[in-house]
């Protein structure tokens, strides 16, 4: 359902970080990625403590631009066409499944072929705003090629840490964009830890998903687009889980639309995972967190 907004005058938003654990609020700066208070309680082999969410204050008019609901001014974003991807009406799939109102949001038409370009786009704008010249990221493939491509368009140096089993085709794509690719003799979790240490030593901004709050914030734009394309929020939305950031970003987009008064109900969001790497699904059903999964699947980078 869409709320009726009465005032169409130009308005603006302000943004800040808020800890999802203790509620502490912080200015959005490159120095803060997790809550300084809660992160001190971090223990090995437990979910990340002190996760920060980008919160908004203020109002917008009836008609808004997607970039109006992001915490970086438009002038800092690189000149590359990220987002504004089509919402297809797949007749054959509709007929097969019996859904007459099924839509497919096609983010393969982003510049590097991935929804992750949305996160990279915001991170690139953020480092340009703060005059940072290097971004570090750990990735199994998609985030690497995404950050490399968007970084190249913005003239930003990108250093990528990849596990030894990362798909070679995606690594080649990153190298073609001019990124520095460093293989790590271990899994994604190990590459993640090494990249954070590199950021600490060199001052590079970490683009690691599920760590940098801006990755969720960038990915929420897919929900804002779906709302504008449909003229309303959908009833249900199915999302590949990956490391959870796409899932969180999709929900966050509709949550912000509700906070701003554009919708009254948030869609039911379904997360889809590979059976062989189902950490979030397992945690949801059992309440037990498993540190590491190793699975072979053709659906790499979304499991």
Strands 52-58, 13-19: parallel, antiparallel or unpaired by DSSP?
antiparallel
* pLDDT exceeds 90 at position 285: no
* pLDDT exceeds 60 at position 256: yes
* pLDDT exceeds 80 at position 18: yes
* pLDDT exceeds 90 at position 189: no
Query: The domain at 117-212 falls in which architecture?
Result: 3-Layer(aba) Sandwich (3.40)
DSSP-derived letter for residue 109 is G
DSSP-derived letter for residue 169 is H
How does pLDDT run across 197-251, given as a tens digit for each residue?
Answer: 999 999 999 999 889 999 999 999 999 999 999 999 999 999 988 778 899 999 9
Give the dihedral of Cα atoms 141, 164, 206, 238; nearest 10 deg: 40
Q: Which two tokens stand for residue 13?
A: 């938003």
* pLDDT exceeds 80 at position 298: no
User: In this structure, what are the phi and psi dihedrals at residue 221, rounded to the nearest 5 degrees?
Assistant: -65, -25
Judge contact between 149 and 117, C-beta under 8 A: yes
If one counts every other C-beta atom within 10 angstroms of the C-beta of residue 229, the result is 14
């Amino acid at each position: 359902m869409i709320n009726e907004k009465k005032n169409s005058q130009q308005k603006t938003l302000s943004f800040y970080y808020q800890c999802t654990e203790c509620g502490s609020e912080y200015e959005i700066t490159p120095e803060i990625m997790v809550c300084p208070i809660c992160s001190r309680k971090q223990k090995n082999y437990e979910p990340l403590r002190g996760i920060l969410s980008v919160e908004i204050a203020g109002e917008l008019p009836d008609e808004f631009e997607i970039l109006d609901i992001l915490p970086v001014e438009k002038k800092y974003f690189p000149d590359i066409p990220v987002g504004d991807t089509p919402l297809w009406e797949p007749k054959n799939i509709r007929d097969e499944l019996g859904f007459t109102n099924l839509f497919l949001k096609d983010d393969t038409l982003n510049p590097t072929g991935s929804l992750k370009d949305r996160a990279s786009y915001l991170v690139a704008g953020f480092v340009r705003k703060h005059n940072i010249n290097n971004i570090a990221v750990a990735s199994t493939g998609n985030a690497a090629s995404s950050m490399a491509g968007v970084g190249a368009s913005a003239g930003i140096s990108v250093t990528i840490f990849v596990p030894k089993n990362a798909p070679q085709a995606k690594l080649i794509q990153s190298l073609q964009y001019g990124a520095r690719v460093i293989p790590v003799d271990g899994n994604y979790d190990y590459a993640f830890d090494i990249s954070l240490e590199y950021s600490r030593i060199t001052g590079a901004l970490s683009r690691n998903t599920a760590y940098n709050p801006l990755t969720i914030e960038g990915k929420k734009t897919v929900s804002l687009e779906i709302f504008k394309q449909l003229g309303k929020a959908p009833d249900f939305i199915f999302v590949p889980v990956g490391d959870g950031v796409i899932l969180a970003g999709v929900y966050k987009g509709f949550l912000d639309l509700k906070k701003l008064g554009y919708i009254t109900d948030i869609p039911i969001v379904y997360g889809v995972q590979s059976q062989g790497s189902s950490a979030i699904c397992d945690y949801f059903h059992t309440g037990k967190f498993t540190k590491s999964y190793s699975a072979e699947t053709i659906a790499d980078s979304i499991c």
